[in-house]
Structure 1
Amino acid sequence: MGQTLSEPNTTKETTSVRNDSLVVASSSMQGWRVTMEDAHQHILQLSPEDPNAAYFAVFDGHGGSMVARHASIHLHRHIVNRAEYQEGNIPEAIREGFLECDRAMKGSQELKDEMAGCTAIMVLLKDNKLWCGNAGDSRCIAGVNGDAVALSIDHKPNDPLEMERIVSAGGFVEFNRVNGNLALSRALGDFIFKTDDELPQNKQIVSAEPDVQTRVVAEDLDFVLLACDGIWDVLNNQQVCDFVVDKLAANTQPEDICEQLMDRCLAPDCQVGGLGCDNMTVVLVCFLHGKPWQNLVTRCQQFAKEREERQQLQDDEECEIAAMAVSATATASDGGEDAIMSVAAVVAASSSRTSEDDSNDNKIDAAAEADACSNDENNVIDDNNDNGNSKEGCDVDNKENTQNDK
């Protein structure tokens, strides 16, 4: 897990920016770690290269902060200056921009011998579209009508396709870590894992190649949130989405939401397996769609109310089943075949409702996966090219499992 302080450093570096379309906030906190290795970036106008584009990113450093800091300053320029970007092929510009940034650092006198690395999760907005590029296990979600939609997948060494590349490049996976050391399988930097000059960049033991997803910015998109795994170790996608929705419903400002989310994820001590003890960084992008801020607040109030009503209905059903069980147990104490049948009926009713709930949950999960994979313009479009590193199916888009600390 790395060295920790005796008490967490909860000082936060928080900023916010806005224009007629977006309200954006970011915040970072060192937490229990001895040093702060995260970096981030938010730019409402990518001037002078492309004033019509906006850019947001989080970089979770490990082994030091130099690679994360360099990437936060330079990655977006590598992307927007690519020929692919000028030609309108933004997904390819993002992929090649990541690789170019990594090459530039590897060739830099300052960074070529650097042992550090970093994840990179970024979002670029332009012409009412959103592109999300990711290398590593930081994560991005979209809040759509109160539901979390995954815009990235975590790159972990035990993923079959990731493991195949690692082994083919001469590495191994031990304890779910690359060569028993690194808890993620794609990153900028980490040049010790990128030493085979006969292999292309995307075939090295650790690759800097990102997965890229595209989404149309429709009226149902309320916010996008990018964060390092210090957040996702503690809360899953939907829990983070619910947290943001509830705070927006209370008219909490985005910069306060970022700070409160980190406080929510901070561990009270470091005796719980390291969860909540990492550096934390959050970038929250709220979409106004040309309407007043209050419109977003009202939408989130409705989503929060609907969720509360669903939860109340579920609680009422559970109470009803519990009451039936108590009554049946009391009857059974009097003995007799009728009493036994009464208990059996309660068990059957409970099982039936549980099965129905599970079936509904599965339908919801299937619908969410279909939404994340659909090529319809109103849904996420998978822009990963067929290079052997892309993921098959969409179950990986909604990984909610607790991630290992780097």
Structure 2
Amino acid sequence: MGIYLSTPKTEKFSEDGENAKLRFGLSSMQGWRATMEDAHAALPDLDASTAFFGVYDGHGGKVVAKFCAKFLHAQVLKQEAYSAGDLGASIQRAFFRMDEMMKGQRGWRELSVLGDKINKFTGMIEGLIWSPKGSDSNDQQDDWAYEEGPHSDFTGPTSGSTACVAVIRNNQLIVANAGDSRCVISRKGQAYNLSRDHKPELEAERDRILKAGGFIHAGRVNGSLNLARAIGDMEFKQNKFLPAEKQIVTANPDLSVVDLCDDDDFIVLACDGIWDCMSSQQLVDFIHEHINIETSLSAVCERVLDRCLAPTTAGGEGCDNMTMILVQFKKPINSDAATSGQSAQTASETQTTSKEVKNEIAN
């Protein structure tokens, strides 16, 4: 449940941006929670032809969410599969890479710098002592070599984060998700989920958890975590006889591929602080009601956050941190080939391989 404040923090961080093919707005708010554990990334120009958007909802602390917001998109670029044009494989590999990078001396140092002020100071000092190299998340060379130091045996953080990202290249949209943040597309005003909330009671999640030696109690993994997939949470990833995708909790994302057409209005990425209060269709309807009367897309997001914020903490819903990214497509998306009857792809449970997995949406 978390610790609640006596009054909510309603100050918002908001941002707008665009490129030739899309515009975006985002907003985040701490709300009733004692700390802000959400993070996000919005890069309309990840490279010359690619846009990247991601929301990260931390649990047990903020550092893993912040780590993902800083490094995940850069790791997508650094994968060999990205240069080969396999976006799905590069995104999936980047999710797993987050867990690998958070281990050892450098992982400990980077998390310390991103953490609370007291840890930030000690992390900076130890970083100067043990690592002459600074970290540059946009450097194309991957220099996360093993470092000697007092935390060389650090197995990674016990806190964790969801990750839901959308990568847009030309007329293709790829959504990758681990956890219960969600991506939704509006097509002719109809909401279609492009991700699945990874809860422990889902059959595939339950089977993996039990086979890996875990258990589910009161809807929580080993009685503590209400998610079946996440980045971090290394205490659930200690079985040395199993690959990363078969651990009790895995960072392995579901992948969905959508061929965009002129019927597509926008996509929304949001943490569960939003989805606890509104269904996918309710949010899409709300956005359509306000998108043409607000001055910016971030203002629409702010309206959603205010709409979801609970008046008190009595019920629990509307008391979480809230983060939302709204990405609107500039028309026409694909004037050469798109028609109102063109098929697209949407999410269902997908294979956990490096191949992009496509699922049909009914128009």
| TM-score > 0.5 by shorter chain | yes
Q: CA deviation at 1:2?
A: 1.0
Q: CA deviation at 1:288?
A: 1.0
> Residues 95-150 of structure 1, C-alpha deviation per residue, up to 9 Å, x if partnerless?
11111122111342334442210000000011211000000000000011011011
Distance 1:173 1:14 in 2: 38
Q: In the alignment, does 2:88 pair up with 1:91?
A: yes
Q: In the alignment, does 2:41 pair up with 1:37?
A: no
Residues 10 and 146 (structure 1 numbering): CA distance in 2 closer, same or farther, change over 3 Å? Answer: same
Q: Secondary structure at the match of 2:88?
A: helix
Q: Which residue of 2 aligns with 1:170?
A: 213
Q: CA deviation at 1:379?
A: 3.6
Q: Which residue of 1 aligns with 2:174?
A: 131
Amino acid paired to 1:33? R
Q: Which residue of 2 aligns with 1:105?
A: 102
- 2:346–2:360 CA contact under 8 A, matched in 1: no
Q: Which residue of 1 aligns with 2:18?
A: 18
Q: Secondary structure at the match of 2:175?
A: strand
Distance 2:201 2:344 in 1: 32
> Residues 295-314 of structure 1, C-alpha deviation per residue, up to 9 Å, x if partnerless?
xxxxxxxxxxxxxxxxxxxx
The correspondence for 1:380, drawn from 332, 346, 352, is: 346
Q: Secondary structure at the match of 1:205?
A: coil
The correspondence for 1:287, drawn from 326, 329, 340, is: 329
Distance 1:137 1:15 in 2: 23
**Correspondence 1:203-282 to 2 at 5 A:** 203-272=246-315, 274-282=316-324
- 2:79–2:94 CA contact under 8 A, matched in 1: yes
> Residues 156-198 of structure 1, C-alpha deviation per residue, up to 9 Å, x if partnerless?
0011110111111111000100011001100000111111122
- 1:134–1:152 CA contact under 8 A, matched in 2: yes
The correspondence for 1:82, drawn from 64, 79, 87, is: 79
Q: CA deviation at 1:251?
A: 4.7
- 1:214–1:382 CA contact under 8 A, matched in 2: no
Q: Which residue of 2 aligns with 1:114?
A: 157
Residues 186 and 81 (structure 1 numbering): CA distance in 2 closer, same or farther, change over 3 Å? Answer: same
Q: CA deviation at 1:377?
A: 5.1
Q: Secondary structure at the match of 1:44?
A: strand
The correspondence for 2:64, drawn from 57, 61, 67, is: 67
From the two aligned structures, give the one with the greater helix fraction.
1
Q: Secondary structure at the match of 1:45?
A: strand
Q: Secondary structure at the match of 2:8?
A: strand
Q: Which has the higher contact order (CA 8 A, sep 6+)?
A: 2
Q: Which residue of 2 aligns with 1:325?
A: none
Distance 1:38 1:379 in 2: 28
Q: CA deviation at 1:238?
A: 0.2
Amino acid paired to 1:193? F
Distance 2:219 2:81 in 1: 36
Residues 105 and 377 (structure 1 numbering): CA distance in 2 closer, same or farther, change over 3 Å? Answer: farther
- 2:195–2:347 CA contact under 8 A, matched in 1: no
Distance 1:377 1:75 in 2: 30
Q: Secondary structure at the match of 1:154?
A: coil
Q: CA deviation at 1:94?
A: 1.3
Distance 2:101 2:235 in 1: 15
Q: Secondary structure at the match of 2:165?
A: strand
Amino acid paired to 1:35? T
Q: CA deviation at 1:57?
A: 0.3
Amino acid paired to 1:278? D
Amino acid paired to 2:218? F
Normalised TM-score (structure 2): 0.80
- 2:344–2:360 CA contact under 8 A, matched in 1: no
Q: CA deviation at 1:289?
A: 2.1
Instruction: Name structure 1 gaps, 5 residues minimum.
Output: 292-370, 398-406
Q: CA deviation at 1:51?
A: 2.1
Residues 175 and 382 (structure 1 numbering): CA distance in 2 closer, same or farther, change over 3 Å? Answer: closer
Q: In the alignment, does 2:210 pair up with 1:159?
A: no
After TM superposition, the runs of 4+ consecutive aligned structure 1 residues lying more than 6 A away are none
> Residues 215-261 of structure 1, C-alpha deviation per residue, up to 9 Å, x if partnerless?
01211111110000000001100000000011124355211111110
Residues 5 and 134 (structure 1 numbering): CA distance in 2 closer, same or farther, change over 3 Å? Answer: same
Residues 39 and 269 (structure 1 numbering): CA distance in 2 closer, same or farther, change over 3 Å? Answer: same
Distance 1:386 1:187 in 2: 14
Distance 1:77 1:383 in 2: 26
Q: CA deviation at 1:81?
A: 1.5
Q: Secondary structure at the match of 1:257?
A: helix
- 1:216–1:380 CA contact under 8 A, matched in 2: no
From the two aligned structures, give the one with the greater strand fraction.
2
Amino acid paired to 1:378? A
Residues 394 and 154 (structure 1 numbering): CA distance in 2 closer, same or farther, change over 3 Å? Answer: farther
Distance 1:42 1:277 in 2: 24
Q: Which residue of 2 aligns with 1:28?
A: 28
Q: Which residue of 2 aligns with 1:51?
A: 48
Q: CA deviation at 1:382?
A: 6.7
